Amino acid sequence: MQHYNNYSSLEASVLGFCELCRGHELSIGLNHSEEALMAAQSGFINDSKSFKIALRSIFCSSEGEHSTFNRCFDIYWRKKRHEYMPKTRIRKQTKIIKQTKESVVLVGSGDDEETKKDGARTVSGANKMESLRKTDFSKVSDIDHLLMDELAEKLLLQLNHRLKRRLRASKEGKIDFRKTIRRNLSQGDNFFELSKKNRKFEKYRMIILLDVSGSMDKYSFYLLKFIWTLKSNFKNIEAFVFSTKLLRITEFIEKVQIDQAMLQMNANSDHWSSGTVIGKCLEEFNDQYSKMVLNGRSITVILSDGLDTGEPELLSEELKKIKLRTSKVIWLNPLKGMEGYEPLAKGMKAALPEIHTFESAHNLESLMELEKYLSHV
């Protein structure tokens, strides 16, 4: 994601923001870039509010462009990489009198008009974030894409922390009551030290296969972000992308920046956004990698809409081979989140008998719910 911290100089940061605005259909020419740079160098950048007003007057030719500009500015120039919250100035004592799922109502004495407007923007922003959390990735507008990207970063970071806590807790053994009693006999009835049984903890290996065919285009980026989250929790992870061919991307997910890794993956793959032959790709996986990466302590996760143009018999046969070599097969299908969806496509229908868990992965909320399947992996 573009952010001013990505650049080493003031000039580069301002030009990066100009490029971001151009990408969101604001008409930014060379003269606008020069004027923006002059505004930054004149000291406006030291006051966020003044800098925002200055750049908006330079970049926007009509009020209709203000909304797009404001979103670009708020995300690009935010102070924290993983969190953005509009500022609300409340000059006198304020208290929360009502809170619902939809909104938070703030009341106080002596609030001026500016305070009320800022408060309304805060509530509106919270509602927007909640709405995006439940929005299907395929329906995110170009304008909301920046906010969705920001929210995905924040929520997947939360998922990362929760998984780490659960994994640490799962390593602890149960209380050994006999040992506890023996150790604390000298203390009478006041037991102060608990002894726990040693628990042998074996790490699982996670294998992920992501469908990057044309029908998955609007989901692939966010699902790749999801893979990056899993990478930080499961050191022993193998990742692949497929459409008409299979590509191992394990080496790419070691990259710190997902954007850089995606560029390299695209450069090494000529089948991104093409058709889908899942059975053939799974056959390639079984022939080249399954013996190396699958075992009784492995979990296989397939991220695909199941819209296969190949032979369903081949898909079923190859998936059965994977099922025999791994402890669990999880299939995450973005289409499952659509109202009234039924797995009637021949590929998905053929796969169902060979998978253990069939869930959706169509929005951020559905990705967060996958914690229960991954926390004991």
Residue 61 has which token pair? 């030719």
168, part of any domain: no
Looking at the fold, whether 100 and 64 belong to one and the same domain comes out as no
Cβ atoms within 10 A of the Cβ of 358, count?
16
Whether residues 188 and 68 share a domain: the answer is no
3-class DSSP state of 122: helix
Are residues 107 and 39 part of one domain?
no
How high is the pLDDT of residue 142? 66
Beta strand residue intervals within the chain, DSSP E: 94-99, 104-108, 205-211, 237-242, 246-248, 298-303, 328-332, 357-359
Kindly state whether residues 328 and 242 are assigned to the same domain: yes
Is the pTM higher than 0.75? no
Q: Is the dihedral of CA 10, 15, 18, 23 positive or negative?
A: negative
Rounded to whole angstroms, the Cα distance separating 18 from 72 reads 10
Q: What are phi and psi of 31, to 5 degrees?
A: -65, -35
Domain residue limits at 120: 94-133
Together in a domain, 188 and 281:
no
- Within this chain, do residues 221 and 365 fall inside the same structural domain, yes or no? yes
> Which tokens is 201 given?
């903890």
What's the 3-state SS for 244-304?
CCEEECCCHHHCCCHHHHHHHHHHCCCCCCCCCCHHHHHHHHHHHCHHHHCCCCEEEEEEC
Is the C-alpha dihedral spanning 182, 184, 188, 190 positive or negative?
A: negative
Give which of 85, 86, 73, 78 is closest to 115, Cα–Cα. 86
Q: Are residues 217 and 318 in the same domain?
A: yes
Residues 250 and 317 in one domain: yes
Q: What is the DSSP letter of 293?
A: H
Which pLDDT score is estimated for 61?
A: 82
Do residues 60 and 124 both lie within one domain? no
pLDDT in tens, the chain (377 residues): 567 777 778 888 888 888 888 888 888 887 788 888 888 887 778 878 888 888 888 888 888 888 889 989 988 887 543 333 333 222 333 333 333 333 333 333 344 444 444 444 433 455 777 788 889 988 887 667 777 777 777 777 777 677 666 655 555 555 555 665 566 555 555 544 555 555 544 567 889 999 999 899 889 888 888 888 777 666 688 999 999 999 998 888 776 566 666 666 666 666 677 789 999 999 999 999 999 999 888 899 999 999 999 999 999 999 999 999 999 999 999 999 998 999 999 999 999 999 999 999 999 888 888 877 775 55
Structure confidence at residue 89 (pLDDT)? 29
Domain count of the fold of the chain:
4
352: its two tokens? 């169902």
So what's the pLDDT on residue 356? 94
223: CATH: 3.40.50.410
